[in-house]
Each structure stands twice: as structure tokens, then as C-alpha cells.
A and B are shown apart, each in its own frame.
Chain A
Amino acid sequence: MDAFALLLAATLNSGTVLAFAALGLLINERAGIVNLGAEGIMLVAAVAGFATAVHTGSDWVAFAAGMGAGALMAAAFGWLVIWLNTNQYASGLALSLFGAGFSAFVGLRYTQEKLSQRSHFDVPGLADIPFIGPALFRQHPLVYLAIVLAVALTWFLYRSRAGLVLRAVGESPESAHALGYPVRRIRFAAVMAGGALCGLAGAYISVIYTPLWVEGMVAGKGWIALALTTFATWRPARVLLGAYLFGGVTMLQFHLQGEGVQVSSQLLTAMPYLATIIVLVLISRNAAWIRANMPASLGKPFFPGS
């Protein structure tokens, strides 16, 4: 039972990285922008966060730096695809490749660095409850923040006026434009916010999850996060659950190996993508479902006045 509690705790921790990145990408996609650069953004943010943590010694400043770096990368992407109307997929891929190389270049002198003693986090009073304590209440504060963020985002998208406008921009930028909303600026804000969240995910990897910097350390989590938004059919709560599911699959295969059960780790690594393809096939067969969930202008450029 104890082992199960610890597995649950590790799943929450591992899912948090995916949750932040995928929620960020969800904001992008709700506004009609697909950002394939998530992996690159996370890498740059990871090195920015780690470097900041090395120099300032503060995790929270490091998170801020990671978010800043992520937003900056996203801003460059946003300028390209929103104002210059470049192809979103090509620009995103370019951003990913650029981020991988650039983070390696900048991070060169940080590969041997280490961070100061990592602290433990216990929720007072709750951490000592048997089973539930070790499973749920000994996590880094950001783990809980991811849950709060998913709830807040649900409220924002479906209960607030600004969220309605954001979704309108993603569904039909022409209509939103006709109503007088600044489509491009709204999209840009969404891209920046998404970049900041991807950045937070990146910084969490290098500062908390594995406190070191190694080239390419995000290792595909950005792509999983991208797959996750589709897997979750663009719903924040499902994104969060999906993140825990994908995080759990990874942890479970290691857990099983530790227990002496042989599982094919290669197959499990492919699972998130396989699951996404299956979901894509399922929703593509159901036109109503697509209409209800997928932002209609996803990936399409918007020319005001055309």
C-alpha cells in the first residue's frame, strides 16, 4: 500500500510538468494558434530557470525567469505567425529546433553546476495522514498550483467574458474582428501566456524535478504536451487528467520493472502518441464532437479586412 502511495505521489509530480505545458498550449489553441515550438520553449526556459537558480539561489526567481524566457520565445513565434502570417506549423517546428540548439549553446557552462540543497515540502497537518499524506501532501507547491490553474482556466474559458472572447477568436476570428475585438492582440496575448506556462514547465524540470541542466533534458515532454491537448479534446480538466495519466504510465513502467515485472518500456514510451492518434480517429469520425470541441480556426492565419 505504501508503494502505491509513493507511485501516486510520483505520478502527480511527473504529471505536473505535462499539465503546465499542456494547459499553456491549450490557451494557444483555444485562440486558434498551434505552437509546435513547445519543446524548444521548454528547453530554453529550463536552462534560463536553472541558470537563474544557480546565480540567485531562489527557486521562485528561477520560475519567473523560466516563464519570462518562455514568453519571450513565444512572443517571437507570435510575431511571426500573427503579424507576418507565416505558416504556424513550420514556424513552430523551427522554434523547436532553434530552442534545442540555443539552449545547448547557452547552457554549456551550466552542465557541471549544481543547485543548493533542495527543500522538502509537507502540507502541515495533512502530510502525516497514513497513505493520503505521502501520496498527496508532500509535493512541491507547484503541483497544487497546476490543479488550481486547471480549475481557474475552466472558469476563465467557460464562465468569464474574456474567456468567451478568447474562444470566439479561436472559433471565428472574422466574426470577432467584425465585432471590434483586436483579434491579433488577443491571439498574441494567448501565445505569450501559453509560452509562459510552457516556460514554467521547463523551469520545473530543471530546478525541481531533476535539479541539473543537461542538453536536451526536456526529452520529448513538449511533444507529449502537444499531443495531450488533442487527447483531451481541448478541455482543461481533461488536460489535467490526461497529464496525470501520461505521467502515470511512465512511472508505472518503472515501478513494474522495480517489482521485477518485465514490460517493454519502448512500447510504453510510444503510448501517449498512440493514445492521441486513437482519440484523433475517434473524434474525426464524429463531426458533432469536433464542432463542439476543436477550435474551428485552429492553425489558420487571420488577415484582418480580407
Chain B
Amino acid sequence: MIDSKRSMLRLTGWTVLAAAALAGCSKKEEATIASPAPAPIAASAPANVEPLKVSFAYIGSIGDGGWNTAHDNARKAMEKEFAGKVVTSYVEKVAEGPDAERVFRDMVSQGNKLIFGTTFGHGDYMLKVAADSKDVKFEHATGYKTAENLRTYDSRTYEGAYMAGVLAGGMTKSNTLGVVGSVPIPEVIRNINSFTLGAQSVNPKIKTKVVWVNSWGDPPKETDAAQSLINAGADVLFQNTDTSAVLQTAEKAGKYAVGWDSDMSAYAPKAHLASSVINWTPYYIKAVKDMLESKWTTGKTWWGVKEGAIDMVSISDKVPAELKARIDTVKAGLKDGSFAIWKGPISTNDGKEKLKKDQVADDAFLGGINFYVKGVEGTVPGGDKK
């Protein structure tokens, strides 16, 4: 009796363990329909019955409330749009390093035909895998290298940064703004500059202080950086990092901050002025549509307010009506193309002219910005030293 009880217990224990192990291993695949096993007679069946397998590699966790959440929301929206025609899966925390290559090869071997890498550092590994898997199409976010089966896509986040700057410039009392910079690459420097240009458009006396944390998401470091900006006199903060730590720090200190990538209003109800969000859905729908219609070709896509990829949401009630109206004007101008953010005269913070009066920057110029505009303090780490 005792023996059988014990073996029962043991059996239960093993079952629980096994179940736990299984749960741990189960793949995060959100199939809307069960994908049928490849039948031997598949050749005679219509070719496009099997849903398109699409996979996403994220650099962080989908719950970061910022960059990765934005990508994952778009993935879900895209899957809903093509219900039944696509099966999507994703892998979180794919570091910008050699391990990424393994992840992309895995995705290929699992039969994915469209693969998204959603961070700059995935690019080189995607290129390698793409060269070996010509029948698979690759989409690389924020990258610049393309191949016949690898194309890049990006959002004009600087448009959001500019609008954030307009709000910050209108709301500051100390005329000092603070930016928590992530990693000093052209995209981030462009955002810091655009933020400053936006602020200057409503308040010419503005100066921007920048603190780099050299990470996309390290909350305690972001907190420290935000705190030192506040200590240095900044009363509106902006960040290019992936988490809401900066907003929370502003909230605690009674200052303002602007959300980034995703709507961050919930994290800091008092400090939050608005969130500059990226909506990847239009592009993800376009990419899958290209695949389903066999129209996919390589290239570069850079979408902004005009295509619905960038928006300013959850603008706080503390923002006065005329400032809100100003945001609407900017948005409308960006939408119909009558307004350009990077339009001369624009000079660096050490007095060199970069854009002449009325000269509008092209995408090549925007892609290589490696200087601070007038109004930003300090020098770009590793930037132009001359």
C-alpha cells in the first residue's frame, strides 16, 4: 500500500516535471490555423494552400513597453489582417552578436519564407544567412545593406523626435532639455538633433544636454542618466532607449518627459507629455502582401508620418491648445510634404554650416548625420573631431 502510494507520488512528480519541461520548451507559435504536415502529394495540390510562414527576431523582450512591444503589436495586427494565410512566430532577446546567425538559420530551417530582423545589429548575420537561403526573403529594420533577397525598412523616427521637441520647447521653464541617448549611431544622433530643432522652432533659447548610456535597455542606468540630467537643470526629458525608466524618473522628480516607440502614458501619468510612437503595421502588411502576391523585390523603405508609420499620441491635458495645434500643423505638413524638418540653414554646434538656407536634406544626408546641431551641448562620442 505504502509502496504503491509512493510510486504514485513519484509518478505524479515526474508527470509534473515533464509537463513543466514541455511547457518550457513549447514554441511560441501563434498559428491561427494548424499548419498541415507536408503531404507527399503536395505537388499536385494548389501551391498556395499552405500558409506563409513569417518569423520575427526581436532584440529584447516583447514586454519592454517600447521598441519591441511596437514590433510585436504590428506582428499581431499583420497576422490578423491575413488571418489563415500566414503563420507567424517570434524569438525574443536575439542579441546583436554571432548568436543571431544561429537564430536566423533556425528560422530558415523551420520553413519560414519571410524573416524580419528588427534591430540594426542583426544586419550582418542576416546577410550571411540570406546568401545561403535564396528562396527566403529577409527584411532588416534600421539597416542599410541590402541583397537580392534582403531589403531594409525603417521609420522616420526623427519626425516623432521633432514633434517631441516642439512639445518640450513649449513646456520647459528652465530652457534646458535633457536627452538620454542609447548608442551613438546616426539614427540616434539625428533624433537628438531633430528634437532640438523642434524645440527651437517654438523657443530659440533652448539648449539640449545629452547623456549616453551605451545600451538600448538598462533601466537602472537610464534612471541614473535621467537623474543627472534633472540635476543639471533639465526639466523636460526625452530618450532614445527602449524602456520607460526615464519617464518614471521624471515622474518622481516632478519633471516632464516624452514617451518613445510605444504609448508610455500609463507609466508616468503626471510627467508624460505625449508619446512618439512607431507603427510598423502598415509596413508589415505591405511586406506580407508583396510575398503573397509574389511581388517582393529588394530595396529600401523609409516611412514616416506620411505613411502612418509615425505618430504622436496621448498628448497630455497639460499641453496648451496652441502647442497641440502646432503639432497638428507639423503633422499635416509632413503628411502632404509641404514641410521638411531638415531644411537649412542648419549648422553644427561649433558653427559649421551643414545646410544652406532653404536647402532640404536628402535621405543620404539624413543617414550620415554625425554632428550635433546648434543648441545641443557637447560633442558626438567618436564623431567629427575637426
**Residues of A bordering B, CB below 8 Å:** 3, 6-7, 10, 14, 17, 104-105, 108-109, 111-112, 114, 118, 205, 209-212, 214-215, 217-219, 221, 250-251, 254-255, 257-262, 265-266
- Max chain A CB contacts within 10 Å: which of B93, B230, B244? B244
What string of 1s and 0s marks CB contacts (under 8 Å) between B274-293 and chain A?
A: 00000000000000000000
Compute how far the CA of A250 lies from the CA of B213 in the bound complex, rounded to whole angstroms. 11
**Interface size range of chain B in the complex:** 35 or more
- Show 6 A/B contacts (Cβ-Cβ < 8 Å), sorted by A: A210-B220, A219-B218, A251-B228, A255-B228, A255-B232, A257-B225
- Max chain A CB contacts within 10 Å: which of B210, B212, B231, B378? B231
Known: A111-B63, A212-B248. A260 touches B224 (CB 8 A): no
Q: Check if B222 is an interface residue, CB within 8 A of chain A.
A: yes
Known: A7-B228, A114-B267. A262 touches B222 (CB 8 A): no
Compute how far the CA of A205 lies from the CA of B234 in the bound complex, rounded to whole angstroms. 24
**B378 near A262: Cβ-Cβ < 8 Å:** yes
| Choice from A10, A108, A251 contacting B63 with Cβ under 8 Å | A108
Chain B positions within 8 Å of A209 at CB level: 220, 223
Chain B positions within 8 Å of A251 at CB level: 224, 227-228
Known: A118-B252, A211-B248. A254 touches B224 (CB 8 A): yes
Q: Nearest B residue to A115 by beta-carbon distance?
A: B248
Compute how far the CA of A209 lies from the CA of B245 in the bound complex, rounded to whole angstroms. 10
In the assembled complex, the CB of A44 is this many whole angstroms from the nearest CB of chain B, namely 17
- Max chain B CB contacts within 10 Å: which of A109, A218, A250, A254? A254
Compute how far the CA of A214 lies from the CA of B218 in the bound complex, rounded to whole angstroms. 8
Closest 7 CB pairs between A and B? A111-B63, A258-B232, A254-B228, A6-B231, A260-B378, A260-B377, A210-B219
**B211 near A254: Cβ-Cβ < 8 Å:** yes
In the assembled complex, the CB of B180 is this many whole angstroms from the nearest CB of chain A, namely 9
**A258 near B229: Cβ-Cβ < 8 Å:** yes
**B231 near A257: Cβ-Cβ < 8 Å:** no
Compute how far the CA of A108 lies from the CA of B63 in the bound complex, rounded to whole angstroms. 7
Q: Check if B13 is an interface residue, CB within 8 A of chain A.
A: no
Q: Check if B333 is an interface residue, CB within 8 A of chain A.
A: no
Chain A positions within 8 Å of B232 at CB level: 3, 255, 258-259
What string of 1s and 0s marks CB contacts (under 8 Å) between B228-241 and chain A?
A: 11111110000000
**B61 near A257: Cβ-Cβ < 8 Å:** no
Chain A positions within 8 Å of B24 at CB level: 105
**A255 near B220: Cβ-Cβ < 8 Å:** no
Compute how far the CA of A113 lies from the CA of B245 in the bound complex, rounded to whole angstroms. 13
**A212 near B219: Cβ-Cβ < 8 Å:** yes
Q: Check if B35 is an interface residue, CB within 8 A of chain A.
A: no
Known: A10-B224, A254-B225, A265-B213. A111 touches B65 (CB 8 A): yes
**B210 near A257: Cβ-Cβ < 8 Å:** yes
| Choice from A7, A10, A105, A112 contacting B65 with Cβ under 8 Å | A112
> How many inter-chain residue pairs (CB < 8 Å) link A and B?
108
Compute how far the CA of A205 lies from the CA of B63 in the bound complex, rounded to whole angstroms. 19
Q: Check if B178 is an interface residue, CB within 8 A of chain A.
A: yes
Known: A3-B231, A210-B248, A258-B178. A112 touches B63 (CB 8 A): yes
Compute how far the CA of A258 lies from the CA of B24 in the bound complex, rounded to whole angstroms. 44
Chain A positions within 8 Å of B222 at CB level: 210
Compute how far the CA of A266 lies from the CA of B379 in the bound complex, rounded to whole angstroms. 17
Determine the main DSSP class of A at the interface with B: helix
Q: Check if B375 is an interface residue, CB within 8 A of chain A.
A: no
Q: Nearest A residue to B231 by beta-carbon distance?
A: A6
Q: Nearest A residue to B377 by beta-carbon distance?
A: A260
Chain B positions within 8 Å of A108 at CB level: 61, 63
Known: A112-B65, A210-B222, A212-B244. A118 touches B251 (CB 8 A): yes
What string of 1s and 0s marks CB contacts (under 8 Å) between B59-84 and chain A?
A: 01101110001000000000000000
Chain A positions within 8 Å of B223 at CB level: 209-210
Q: Check if B381 is an interface residue, CB within 8 A of chain A.
A: yes
**B221 near A111: Cβ-Cβ < 8 Å:** no
Q: Check if B266 is an interface residue, CB within 8 A of chain A.
A: yes
**A214 near B267: Cβ-Cβ < 8 Å:** no
Chain B positions within 8 Å of A266 at CB level: 214
Q: Nearest B residue to A254 by beta-carbon distance?
A: B228
Q: Nearest B residue to A269 by beta-carbon distance?
A: B214
Q: Nearest B residue to A257 by beta-carbon distance?
A: B211
Compute how far the CA of A212 lies from the CA of B227 in the bound complex, rounded to whole angstroms. 16
**B381 near A214: Cβ-Cβ < 8 Å:** no
Chain B positions within 8 Å of A212 at CB level: 219, 243-245, 248, 267
- Max chain B CB contacts within 10 Å: which of A212, A218, A261? A212
**B266 near A114: Cβ-Cβ < 8 Å:** yes
Q: Check if B53 is an interface residue, CB within 8 A of chain A.
A: no
In the assembled complex, the CB of B64 is this many whole angstroms from the nearest CB of chain A, namely 6
**A10 near B228: Cβ-Cβ < 8 Å:** yes
Q: Nearest B residue to A119 by beta-carbon distance?
A: B252
Compute how far the CA of A218 lies from the CA of B245 in the bound complex, rounded to whole angstroms. 13
In the assembled complex, the CB of A51 is this many whole angstroms from the nearest CB of chain B, namely 14
**B231 near A258: Cβ-Cβ < 8 Å:** yes
In the assembled complex, the CB of A234 is this many whole angstroms from the nearest CB of chain B, namely 26
- Max chain A CB contacts within 10 Å: which of B221, B228, B379? B228
Known: A111-B65, A112-B63, A114-B267. A265 touches B228 (CB 8 A): no
Q: Nearest B residue to A114 by beta-carbon distance?
A: B267
Compute how far the CA of A254 lies from the CA of B222 in the bound complex, rounded to whole angstroms. 10
**A257 near B228: Cβ-Cβ < 8 Å:** yes
Q: Check if B117 is an interface residue, CB within 8 A of chain A.
A: no
**A221 near B220: Cβ-Cβ < 8 Å:** yes
Given known contacts A111-B61, A210-B249, what 16 new A-B pairs fall within 8 Å (CB)? A7-B228, A10-B227, A17-B220, A105-B24, A111-B63, A112-B63, A114-B266, A210-B248, A211-B248, A212-B248, A214-B61, A214-B64, A219-B220, A258-B234, A259-B209, A261-B378
In the assembled complex, the CB of A52 is this many whole angstroms from the nearest CB of chain B, namely 18
